Amino acid sequence: MKYQAYNRHNFTEIPQMKNFSELFRKEILISSKVLPFKTNNYVTDFLIDWSKVPEDPMFLLNFPQKDMLQPAHFSEAAGMVEGRYSEEQSAEILKKIYSELNPHPAAQQHNVPVLEGKKLNGMQHKYRETVLFFPRQGQTCHAYCTFCFRWPQFTGISHLKFRTDEATLLASYIRKNPSVTDVLFTGGDPMVMHASILRGYIEALLEANIPHLQTIRIGTKALAYWPFRFLTDPDSNELLHLFERIIKHGINLAIMAHFSHPTELKTPQVAEAIRNIRSTGAQIRTQSPVLKHINDDPKTWAEMWRLQVNHNCIPYYMFIARDTGAQHYFSIPLVKAWEIFRKAYQSVSGVCRTVRGPSMSCIPGKVQVLGVSEVVTNGKKEKLIVMRMLQGRNPDWVARPFFAEYHPDAIWIDQLKPAFGEKKFFFEDELEQMFKEDLSESSLVNFE
Ligand SMILES: *Cc1c(COP(=O)(O)O)cnc(C)c1O
Ligand code: SF4
């Protein structure tokens, strides 16, 4: 299949959209003024069930909807589409809307590493073992998710972008930091890069022969949105050979595949693409946020994990929708996310229970909601939310249970209060200290 991208400029060429009302189409175009919009012919022809639109989850994953914007933002966007503002005014309004959508959740801009006094702007180093690398040519995707927290990278606000082409700096940084065992190529989607460009980055790492580098991970949604990447693209074979080369070098290669719905795992194309990747010796680990309107029930998750295991993939993370972009549309309470996780987890066998979650990627780390529990204090029953960190800015925070007052509607950690009348969670003083010491530089990530 030949890749055909659709966005707001060639929207009218999507054949299936022609059957819908003018108003419905216009609302999508207005919403796409703010939310990134891009889909492709595999998604429209193989994944979306058009008889179920507008409720179809695959449709909602790619086509921005009116309800995904706050009403005020939607009317401002409508004003732009209807030509009520000058170009300059539109740019100003858009900038304002973006700033109101929390474009940098979890203080990502504070994770930029430093090498010999120089900031490495295309990287993030938040957790001791793993460096995130944002290759310059990988800052787009085969299709955009309407929930995406990386959307500032697609909006053209350049100072919000992470990108670099400094592969040798990456290798030097890892060499100098023996605690780094993992490099995670991320984006956007690094799999949009031509194999020869990815090869350049990978070769720089392999040639550096860094003894402590154990795992190269590649975060990608290509298996879900464009499995032809591993089948029939002109450089598919070159890409698969590159994977083989990493394995032969003695480095573990983990494809971190994003799957948000069972539909994405049901086409013959995705099955074959997974087989091709697995035959190189690479592992595939899977992850997704839990999202209202898309996958907010246990059956969907249990089915997803089973299909993944059937395809020889390893379920890895269930995330909670981040506090950015269209969160109000997709978010569900933490307690509900845990209930979905628990029911799904209970209904699958142990081979699926490699998955961890539901987890919030927030400033202190990855916080897992372990569940709701009850204690008796001073003869009074008290309901609690139990959490722990799966990852922490300080590794010592990991795997310590901590407690918040029960709050059935909270959708993010900042809405939770420590239990037992405590003023702060156990990590907060130390976290504040890290940020105080280093609001402009990066020592808070070099806490060894
Ligand atoms: C999730 C994540 C990682 C990887 O964490 P693992 O638990 O090893 O998968 C690394 N860096 C950041 C910023 C992350 O959010
Ligand atoms: S594939 Fe990933 S980076 Fe790309 S739009 Fe979706 S969530 Fe965002």
Closest approach atom of ligand 2 to CA 153: 3
Closest approach atom of ligand 1 to CA 316: 9
pLDDT recorded at residue 166: 74
CA distances from 66 to 21, 33, 54, 156, 325 (A): 14, 11, 11, 22, 13
4 vs 383: CA distance, rounded Å: 52
| CA-closest candidate to residue 101, choices 7, 27, 34 | 34
Tokens 């992850």 appear where?
287
Q: Give the ligand with the smallest distance to the CA of 139.
A: 2
Q: Give the ligand with the smallest distance to the CA of 152.
A: 2
| CA-closest candidate to residue 372, choices 382, 364, 362 | 382
113, 441 in Cβ contact below 8 A? no
Residue 129 has pLDDT above 50, yes or no: yes
Nearest CA to ligand 2 atom 6: 145
For residue 150 and ligand 2, the question of a CB distance below 6 A is answered with yes
Ligand 2 pocket test target in 141, 146, 226 with most atoms within 8 Å of CB: 141
pLDDT recorded at residue 447: 26
For residue 148 and ligand 2, the question of a CB distance below 6 A is answered with yes
pLDDT recorded at residue 77: 96
| CA-closest candidate to residue 356, choices 332, 374, 337 | 337
Mean pLDDT of 365-388: 95
pLDDT recorded at residue 67: 96
Where are the alpha helices (H) located in 177-278, listed in sequence order? 195-207, 222-225, 236-248, 268-278
Residue 78 has pLDDT above 90, yes or no: yes
For residue 221 and ligand 2, the question of a CB distance below 6 A is answered with yes
What is the distance in A from the centroid of ligand 2 to the CA of 68? 16
For residue 127 and ligand 1, the question of a CB distance below 6 A is answered with yes
CA distances from 217 to 44, 152, 233, 297, 342 (A): 29, 23, 21, 29, 28
pLDDT digits (tens, 9 = 90+) for 404-430: 999 999 999 999 999 999 999 999 999
359 vs 385: CA distance, rounded Å: 13
Q: Residue 296's CB: how many other CB atoms inside 10 A? A: 18
pLDDT recorded at residue 441: 41
What is the distance in A from the centroid of ligand 1 to the CA of 212? 18
Share of the chain above pLDDT 70, in %: 91
420, 344 in Cβ contact below 8 A? no
Closest approach atom of ligand 1 to CA 390: 7
Q: In what order do the strands lie in the sheet with 252-258?
A: 123-127, 130-133, 182-185, 215-220, 252-258, 283-290, 314-320, 356-361, 365-377, 380-392, 402-405
For residue 124 and ligand 1, the question of a CB distance below 6 A is answered with yes
What is the distance in A from the centroid of ligand 1 to the CA of 220? 14
pLDDT digits (tens, 9 = 90+) for 252-286: 999 999 999 999 999 999 999 999 999 999 999 99
330, 323 in Cβ contact below 8 A? no
Nearest CA to ligand 2 atom 5: 144
Nearest CA to ligand 1 atom 7: 391
> Hey, what domains does the chain have and what are their CATH numbers?
5-100 (no CATH), 105-441 (3.20.20.70)
What is the distance in A from the centroid of ligand 1 to the CA of 191? 19
What is the distance in A from the centroid of ligand 2 to the CA of 443? 29
Nearest CA to ligand 1 atom 10: 130
User: How would residue 108 be classed by pLDDT, with cut points 50, 70 and 90?
Assistant: low
pLDDT digits (tens, 9 = 90+) for 26-65: 999 999 999 989 999 999 999 999 999 999 999 999 999 9
Closest approach atom of ligand 1 to CA 108: 13
Nearest CA to ligand 1 atom 3: 130
359, 319 in Cβ contact below 8 A? yes
149 vs 326: CA distance, rounded Å: 9
